[in-house]
């Protein structure tokens, strides 16, 4: 399933930007925890098929895969690196601000607007139409706007006097307002019940800012053409290409909000086909990443996953280090820990083990001796997703693990075949106990041995019913073919960092904790995340002297939204009361 999702994401990015290689890199950089050659080839195949299909369909009737695909035939100059750095700083600031305020607005939405999805969508559409109607860059479609802003003026890019010197300052004003308004709309629309994404809107914001900066740089060149900074410009060739600034701004904004770098470089290269602009793109994205790391912000997708409480471990986080002594030295040398993303939630000075996080109160299944009535009662009275299989004696020897879905599936199939009763014994052992062999005929013995021999190779779905019918009787229900007899287990003394790596690299839903063969606990990803959250709050309070710049305004948007909601609620109540009095008259 994970490989399918990874390959599907590669195909989606490939057709969205006409970038098959960029889609593959996106699946590796953003979607997958570990690098797998098999997954990479599957992603490459899906991206290739998707791109070929889109090319055959030719949706825009232009021969291009996307509407805003452009080409550049002029080179850049070294003095422009200064302005490229400004674009990179904007991209980092944009990403940090949008992530921060969008999470605050998402908390407000969850608290007050969860039951008003349609109303919120209508209000957003109305505000977008009202503000967009008076701005030429908000009025047109975003993909069309990207194409207009990316194009060179000499190749037909003069949209509505965009390249005319006499209108350069009104254009700068319009581009600036479009950037500000669109940032606000992205903050309040991402996460709403409308198909408002984050890729193209972020690129549109970066493009308007970049084009605005390009026009300003071009105006400076026209005012001071003999300045030493413009000495590399040739008099008969245009020196500044504002379209490339829009192109770099789009890359910076996309990288700033998603926190991806290599993928954006390749996507932008495939959009333009200009090898000469790979180095400026890399410079811009490195500056963007540096600014984002300074504000200690993850991508908006990762932050929304954490906000919604999904069991997800970030592949770049190493929350608990194995060696406690190293943590102490690191804490002494770098007391604030700012800028070290891989250690940003270290618990200083001590190492945590599995025993501090694991669940000790468990719901288990006895390997034999349980009747169907007991199993169904345990299923009805619990909400856990699986049950460890233990020995019936006091030693609680761990013998396997069965998922809730698999167990319910077996019982439902067995009831359909009318082989079992409420007092039917259930066995979870790999082989039936010796005292129960006399309840099977010779065919059942052969089938049971065949099933036991083929457990390591998996079970064919088409053989499930036949296997259940041949290996079970009205007196005994054999569930062993659906039991994982070799679950992943760890010792309670194991450092938690190792368990996190197991979750990240192997992806199990649950890890059992055993000591000397006996079951002592169980740990899931949610347990780890819950422990991280509790220690994160403690660690954050202990770092009160190292508050970041963005955190100084913590709660500003929250308070503003709460006040606005209170005022609107009171005003609505007064209007309703006035309307009732008017009707009563």
Give yes or no for a contact between 144 and 67, defined as CB atoms under 8 angstroms apart: yes
Measured CA to CA, the distance from residue 230 to residue 223 in angstroms comes to 11
Measured CA to CA, the distance from residue 542 to residue 545 in angstroms comes to 8
**Strands, E, within 464-583: which ranges?**
476-478, 489-490, 510-515, 518-524
Q: Which stretches of 395-481 are DSSP H helices?
A: 404-416, 442-453, 464-471
**Residue-level pLDDT at 455:** 37
Give yes or no for a contact between 320 and 502, defined as CB atoms under 8 angstroms apart: no
Reduce the DSSP state of residue 556 to 3 states and report it: helix
Using alpha carbons, select from 24, 63, 31 the residue that is nearest to residue 47.
24
Measured CA to CA, the distance from residue 242 to residue 7 in angstroms comes to 36
Measured CA to CA, the distance from residue 269 to residue 281 in angstroms comes to 9
Give yes or no for a contact between 526 and 383, defined as CB atoms under 8 angstroms apart: no
Q: Structure tokens of 356?
A: 């501090």
Q: Alpha-carbon Rg of the chain, whole angstroms?
A: 31
Q: Within 13 Å, how many C-alpha atoms sit on residue 276's CB side?
A: 9
Using alpha carbons, select from 403, 366, 357, 400 the residue that is nearest to residue 517.
400
Report the sign of the C-alpha dihedral through residues 16, 261, 72, 19, in that order: negative
Q: Structure tokens of 120?
A: 């919120």
Give yes or no for a contact between 132 and 53, defined as CB atoms under 8 angstroms apart: no
**Residue-level pLDDT at 93:** 95
Question: Residue 166 CB: number of other CB atoms within 10 A?
Answer: 7
**Residue-level pLDDT at 536:** 65
pTM of the predicted model over 0.85: no
Q: Which stretches of 18-115 are DSSP H helices?
A: 20-26, 37-57, 81-112
Reduce the DSSP state of residue 517 to 3 states and report it: coil
Q: What's the residue count for the chain?
A: 585
3-state secondary structure 306-358: HHCCCCCCCCCCCCCCCCHHHHHHHHHHCCCCCCCHHHCCCCCCCCCEHHHCC
Reduce the DSSP state of residue 458 to 3 states and report it: coil
Give yes or no for a contact between 214 and 240, defined as CB atoms under 8 angstroms apart: yes
Using alpha carbons, select from 314, 299, 298 the residue that is nearest to residue 258.
299
Reduce the DSSP state of residue 512 to 3 states and report it: strand
> Which DSSP helix (H) or strand (E) runs through 365?
strand 365-366
Reduce the DSSP state of residue 76 to 3 states and report it: coil
Give yes or no for a contact between 292 and 96, defined as CB atoms under 8 angstroms apart: yes
pLDDT tens digits in sequence order for the chain, 585 residues long: 778 888 898 998 888 888 889 889 888 887 766 667 888 888 999 999 999 998 888 887 777 777 777 777 788 888 999 999 999 999 999 999 999 999 999 998 988 888 888 999 999 999 999 988 889 899 988 888 888 898 888 766 677 888 888 888 999 999 999 999 999 999 999 988 888 788 889 999 999 999 999 999 999 998 888 888 888 888 778 888 898 999 999 999 999 999 888 888 888 888 877 778 889 999 999 999 999 999 877 889 888 888 887 777 665 554 444 444 334 343 334 343 333 333 333 333 456 888 888 998 899 999 888 888 899 999 999 888 899 999 988 888 999 999 998 899 888 888 877 667 888 888 888 754 444 434 434 443 333 333 333 333 344 555 565 566 556 666 788 888 888 988 999 999 998 888 888 888 787 889 999 998 899 999 988 888 888 777 766 655 555 444 444 444 445 666 776 777 777 777 777 888 887 777 776
């Amino acid at each position: 399933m994970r490989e399918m999702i990874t390959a599907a994401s590669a195909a989606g990015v490939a057709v969205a930007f006409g970038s098959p290689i960029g889609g593959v890199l996106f699946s590796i950089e953003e979607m997958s925890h570990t690098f797998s050659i098999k997954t990479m080839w599957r992603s490459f195949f899906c991206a290739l098929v998707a791109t070929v299909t889109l090319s055959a369909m030719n949706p825009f009737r232009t021969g291009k895969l996307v509407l805003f695909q452009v080409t550049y035939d002029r080179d850049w100059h070294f003095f422009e690196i200064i302005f490229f750095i400004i674009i990179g700083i904007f991209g980092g600031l944009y990403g940090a601000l949008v992530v921060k305020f969008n999470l605050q607005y998402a908390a407000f939405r969850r608290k007050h607007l969860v039951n008003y999805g349609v109303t919120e969508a209508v209000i957003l559409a109305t505000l977008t139409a009202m503000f967009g109607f008076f701005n030429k860059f908000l009025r047109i479609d975003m993909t069309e706007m990207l194409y207009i802003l990316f194009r060179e003026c000499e190749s037909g890019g003069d949209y509505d006097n965009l390249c005319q010197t006499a209108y350069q300052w009104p254009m700068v004003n319009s581009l600036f307002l479009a950037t500000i308004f669109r940032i606000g709309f992205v903050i309040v629309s991402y996460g709403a019940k409308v198909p408002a994404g984050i890729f193209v809107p972020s690129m549109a914001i970066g493009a308007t800012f970049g084009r605005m900066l390009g026009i300003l740089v071009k105006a400076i060149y026209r005012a001071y053409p003999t300045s030493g900074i413009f000495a590399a410009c040739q008099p008969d060739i245009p020196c500044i290409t504002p379209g490339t600034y829009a192109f770099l701004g789009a890359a910076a904004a996309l990288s700033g909000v998603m926190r991806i770098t290599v993928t954006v470089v390749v996507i932008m290269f495939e959009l333009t086909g200009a090898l000469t602009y790979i180095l400026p793109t890399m410079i811009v994205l490195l500056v963007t990443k540096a600014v984002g790391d300074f504000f200690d912000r993850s991508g908006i997708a990762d932050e929304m996953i954490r906000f919604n409480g999904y069991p997800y471990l970030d592949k770049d986080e190493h929350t608990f280090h194995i060696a406690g002594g190293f943590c102490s030295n690191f804490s002494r040398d770098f007391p604030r820990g700012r800028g070290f993303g891989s250690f940003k939630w270290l618990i200083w000075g001590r190492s945590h083990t599995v025993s501090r996080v694991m669940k000790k109160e468990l719901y288990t299944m006895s390997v034999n001796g349980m009747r169907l009535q007991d199993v169904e009662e345990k299923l009805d009275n619990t909400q856990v997703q699986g049950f460890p299989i233990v020995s019936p004696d006091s030693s609680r020897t761990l013998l396997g693990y069965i998922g809730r879905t698999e167990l319910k599936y077996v019982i439902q199939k067995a009831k359909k075949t009318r082989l079992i009763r409420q007092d039917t014994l259930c066995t979870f052992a790999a082989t039936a106990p010796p005292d129960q062999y006399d309840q099977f005929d010779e065919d059942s013995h052969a089938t049971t041995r065949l099933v036991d021999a083929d457990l390591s190779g998996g079970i064919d779905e088409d053989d499930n019913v036949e296997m259940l019918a041949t290996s079970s009787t009205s007196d005994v229900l054999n569930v062993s073919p659906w039991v994982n007899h070799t679950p992943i287990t760890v010792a309670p003394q194991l450092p938690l960092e190792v368990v996190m790596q197991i979750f990240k690299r192997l992806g199990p839903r649950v890890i059992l904790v055993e000591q000397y063969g006996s079951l002592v606990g169980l740990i899931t990803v949610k347990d780890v995340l819950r422990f991280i959250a509790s220690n994160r709050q403690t660690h954050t309070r202990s770092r009160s002297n190292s508050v970041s710049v963005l955190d100084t305004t913590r709660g500003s948007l929250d308070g503003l939204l709460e006040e606005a909601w209170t005022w609107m609620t009171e005003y609505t109540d007064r209007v309703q009361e006035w309307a009732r009095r008017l009707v009563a008259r």
